[in-house]
Structure 1
Amino acid sequence: MAAMDGVLPVLLGGDANVYGMARSFYEECGVRSVAVCRRALPALAHTRLLRRVVEQPRLDGDAVFVRTLAETARALPAGRRLLVPCDDGYAMQLARCRTQLGSLYRFACPPPETVEKLGTKTGFAAVCAAAGLRTPQGVTLPFGAPVPELPFGGPVIVKPADPAAYQKCRFAGRRKVYLAKDRAALARTVEAVGRGGYRGALLLQEYIPGPDTALGVVNAYCGADGRVRWIVQGQVLLQETTPEGAGNYAALLVEPARQDRALLDALAALLEQNGWRGFANFDFKYDRAGQPVLFEMNPRQGRSSYACAAAGASLARPLLEDLADRRPVTAPALRAAVWHTAPWGVVRRFCPDRRLLRRAAALRRRGCGCRHLLAAGEGPARYLWYGLRQAGYWRKMPRRR
């Protein structure tokens, strides 16, 4: 697709997900994006993919959110402004404020009750149960409540039920997901999260055994016509190995042959039947019987979703077709690609499936590899930042894994 005049992407967020989304827009149609966030994280440092970063520490207030985005719209040239949430909290906030912003931006966003229904862990589990899709057994633990007897054995996965509130908490040992091997470890984890300032409920889930390569991720886009034609599955090669990155993906393999058609059809039907709109991101794991167990749905594209673009499924294209051109979204033509955010040496050392690793290494040698946070055409400052980041990754890794 050639450069598209008058398209102005405005991305809600300040992290690596925003970098991947901005990269996709730049590669697809030659435009630089604007990022709007409470605080820009280092993933956006020194990049040429953004024309501007708007930081507003009080952006979590709806009135400030609307005012900041209105001011941002007025400061931009006239054109088709596409507003894209890249974070759970911003997705819900945009759903609440969609009426006030509808005259200023084009965006794909369901109403708040739909986001609450599908985009929260407890709501998603109920929707999956109604659709006959399996999720882990789970118990919701309100803040301050004692840990109950669980209807499943250990180990236990511990997650915040309110990711947007948890994201604002900063404390030593903070993780996206915790694994408690016994009841004592579970009690220590609950206490530590509470001391860290999180006051929301926790979700205690059964652990689905298996290596990192049993994990998978699906990104999907539901257009204005209510249809899901753009849907892509990624095969996890390795989860993040640093303490703060636990629960995120370090490397993914995307191939046409690794698309589980039955699963993708079921997820597309789930979105269509529940009136979804825009991006959705599913995390799951195949159990020992080879059946997928769905963990959650995020109401936006995933942090690792640039893996789709690396495999020929541009993240920008469904937005451009649906929002800018007002036409049906087309299905992507996938090609094999391997994406990684960890240094490749880390992936090579820790990937638990050597057969998959050999396949990924062969793709990299053929030029089908993609480094997540370093787009072509970045300047020397970005290259220096990236080199220091990769070197620092090794230092942050646990001594034993």
Structure 2
Amino acid sequence: MTLKTEQAFQPIIIQSGQNAYGMARSFYEAYGVRSLVLEPSRKKRNIQTFILGGSQAIATKNSRIVDFQQVDYLDDPNYFVHALTGVAKQYKNKKLLLFVCDCYYVELVIKNKQALENYFILPYIDESLMNQIQTKENFYKKCDLYNLKYPRTMVLTNKNYETTAISLAYPIIIKASNSAEYKNCSFLGKQKIFLVHNEEDQKRIVKSIFSSTYNDHLILQEYIPGDDTTIRVLYVYVGKDKKVKLMCLGNTLIEDPSPHHIGNSLAVVTDYDKQLMDKIRFFLEDIGYTGYANFDMKLDVRDGEYKLFEINLRTGTSSYYVTASGHNLMKYVVDDYVFGENLELTYVQAEHLWSLIPKKVLFKCIVNKPLKAEAKRLIKQGKYTDALYFKEDMNIKRWSMLKAYNLYLKIKFKKYYK
């Protein structure tokens, strides 16, 4: 692709990991435009900055499809708007599209939406709706209203956790209801999600979490049996007219096994389920949603129902699989907000395999034999995309770095994958 030096818009992405690279790659493929990727400057040097970032992630390093910039106090809620307006003033006569890569920054953007809309196009919901669905606890209340299934759940607070009897049979899952707040807390043995097999471990983990700076509620859930291939991810784009325009269901093949990133899909093959898509589409349109959303869920083989885990008010780590399937995820927001095009509803049915991990690791770890055979077939047919190896974005530095990263992934899977 020949780089187009002038565009009517400029994508700006907060954080520089795999999600950011997937978005930037989508923009480059559709329009030849380089995305600006932001991270908070390390000058602040508090625990929040070290958790959220401050240096450029491997996914976007040595890349010619992004520009990278560190911004002072970008991660500070008190200076967030000021930090972003400083970035916006670097551009003249361009429409600036702002995207974020995790729940913490989603919350900051939405809470400051009125001020930021003077500078950016913001494909995000308003704060009133965010408060109804952002935490898992509130999302499950909505699920009850719309007959959307989720695992059997208990809610613990820092006031009742010591006296509440656990009615769920072990093993159970322990996770934060508020992902944005949980990401900023720190304690020994912290994991994104805990799989717990007995009461002793449950009490120890819950006490550790509530002894940290985390002040919201905890979710305890029944464990839905099944390996990684029973996980589904659903990406959705809802237009500014609050009508769903794109839905793409993915069947996870492998999830990240490491404690801090468990639950992130590292290999996905596209899937299709019209009944599920129809139910989620009705839900989103009925609550007045707009922008990107992704749902995590698991197929419960005991009853054949999808059990929803959460809704994310943004794109996720594996979002590029949608673009790879032939439906450019970022083109939808540009066509909608920048060019004002009339977008029709699309349920993706194309077959495609997207993977962040080396093929040898992928095939060694896939448990489901039919899905392993399907993945091999898609690779043979050329319906395969590597998350980071993009031929139009390759140089010796990036190639060498990605080779080293693949070695790291092999070591990580050897250490954590069971």
Q: Would you say same fold, with TM above 0.5?
A: yes
Which structure 2 residue ranges, 5 or more long, are not aligned? 41-53
Structure 1 match to 2:132: 117
Structure 1 match to 2:45: none
Structure 1 match to 2:36: 34
Q: Partner amino acid for 1:156?
A: I
TM-aligned CA distance change 1:208 to 1:160, over 3 Å: same
Among 87, 100, 105, the alignment partner of 2:120 is 105
Structure 1 match to 2:200: 184
Structure 1 match to 2:234: 218
- Once the 2 structures are TM-superposed, how far is the Cα of residue 364 of structure 1 from its aligned partner? 1.2
Among 353, 357, 370, the alignment partner of 1:342 is 357
Residue by residue over 1:185-231, the C-alpha shift from the partner in whole angstroms, topping out at 9 and shown as x without a partner, is: 21232244456654443211111112211110000011111100211
Structure 2 match to 1:369: 384
Q: Is the 8 A contact 1:240 1:342 kept in 2?
A: no
**What pairs up with 1:191-206 in 2 under 5 angstroms?**
191-194=207-210, 198-206=214-222
TM-aligned CA distance change 1:365 to 1:55, over 3 Å: farther
- Once the 2 structures are TM-superposed, how far is the Cα of residue 259 of structure 1 from its aligned partner? 0.9
- Once the 2 structures are TM-superposed, how far is the Cα of residue 170 of structure 1 from its aligned partner? 5.2
Q: Partner amino acid for 1:37?
A: E
Structure 1 match to 2:406: 390
Question: Which whole-Å CA distance do the structure 1 matches of 2:211 and 2:361 have between them?
Answer: 32
Structure 2 match to 1:291: 305
Q: Partner amino acid for 1:262?
A: Q
The secondary structure found in structure 2 opposite 1:342 is coil
- Once the 2 structures are TM-superposed, how far is the Cα of residue 342 of structure 1 from its aligned partner? 2.1
- Once the 2 structures are TM-superposed, how far is the Cα of residue 77 of structure 1 from its aligned partner? 3.9
- The more displaced of 38-47 and 114-123 is 38-47
Among 296, 303, 306, the alignment partner of 2:320 is 306
The secondary structure found in structure 1 opposite 2:120 is coil
TM-aligned CA distance change 1:229 to 1:379, over 3 Å: same
- The more displaced of 114-123 and 197-206 is 197-206
Structure 2 match to 1:275: 288
Among 86, 102, 112, the alignment partner of 1:71 is 86
Among 315, 326, 335, the alignment partner of 2:329 is 315
Identity of aligned residues (%): 27
TM-aligned CA distance change 1:99 to 1:197, over 3 Å: closer
Residue by residue over 1:325-379, the C-alpha shift from the partner in whole angstroms, topping out at 9 and shown as x without a partner, is: 1233344565311111122222211111111111111111222211212322232
Question: Which whole-Å CA distance do the structure 2 matches of 1:99 and 1:41 have between them?
Answer: 30
Structure 2 match to 1:242: 258
Question: Which whole-Å CA distance do the structure 2 matches of 1:102 and 1:57 have between them?
Answer: 20
- Once the 2 structures are TM-superposed, how far is the Cα of residue 167 of structure 1 from its aligned partner? 1.9
The secondary structure found in structure 2 opposite 1:250 is strand
Residue by residue over 1:14-50, the C-alpha shift from the partner in whole angstroms, topping out at 9 and shown as x without a partner, is: 3221111111111111111112333243333222221
Q: Is the 8 A contact 1:24 1:306 kept in 2?
A: yes
Question: Which whole-Å CA distance do the structure 1 matches of 2:212 and 2:385 have between them?
Answer: 35
Structure 2 match to 1:156: 172
Residue by residue over 1:208-258, the C-alpha shift from the partner in whole angstroms, topping out at 9 and shown as x without a partner, is: 11221111000001111110021110011122233333211121101xxx3
TM-aligned CA distance change 1:374 to 1:69, over 3 Å: same
Question: Which whole-Å CA distance do the structure 1 matches of 2:254 and 2:394 have between them?
Answer: 27
- The more displaced of 311-320 and 183-192 is 183-192
Question: Which whole-Å CA distance do the structure 1 matches of 2:376 and 2:315 have between them?
Answer: 26
Q: Is the 8 A contact 2:74 2:83 kept in 1?
A: no
TM-aligned CA distance change 1:41 to 1:116, over 3 Å: farther
- Once the 2 structures are TM-superposed, how far is the Cα of residue 399 of structure 1 from its aligned partner? 6.5
**What pairs up with 1:326-337 in 2 under 5 angstroms?**
326-332=340-346, 334-337=349-352
Q: Partner amino acid for 2:361?
A: V
Question: Which whole-Å CA distance do the structure 1 matches of 2:26 and 2:417 have between them?
Answer: 36
The secondary structure found in structure 1 opposite 2:260 is helix
Question: Which whole-Å CA distance do the structure 1 matches of 2:416 and 2:234 have between them?
Answer: 32
Structure 1 match to 2:146: 131
Question: Could you state the TM-score of these two structures normalised by the residue count of structure 1?
Answer: 0.92
Question: Which whole-Å CA distance do the structure 2 matches of 1:50 and 1:170 have between them?
Answer: 31
The secondary structure found in structure 2 opposite 1:243 is coil
Q: Is the 8 A contact 1:223 1:328 kept in 2?
A: no
Q: Is the 8 A contact 1:173 1:244 kept in 2?
A: no
Question: Which whole-Å CA distance do the structure 1 matches of 2:174 and 2:343 have between them?
Answer: 37
Q: Partner amino acid for 2:336?
A: D
TM-aligned CA distance change 1:187 to 1:41, over 3 Å: farther
Count of equivalent residues: 397
Which structure 1 residue ranges, 5 or more long, are not aligned? none
Q: Is the 8 A contact 1:338 1:368 kept in 2?
A: yes
Q: Is the 8 A contact 2:257 2:417 kept in 1?
A: no
Question: Which whole-Å CA distance do the structure 2 matches of 1:56 and 1:128 have between them?
Answer: 39
TM-aligned CA distance change 1:191 to 1:59, over 3 Å: same
Question: Which whole-Å CA distance do the structure 1 matches of 2:152 and 2:76 have between them?
Answer: 32
The secondary structure found in structure 1 opposite 2:89 is helix
Question: Could you state the TM-score of these two structures normalised by the residue count of structure 2?
Answer: 0.89
TM-aligned CA distance change 1:5 to 1:400, over 3 Å: closer
Question: Which whole-Å CA distance do the structure 2 matches of 1:197 and 1:357 have between them?
Answer: 43
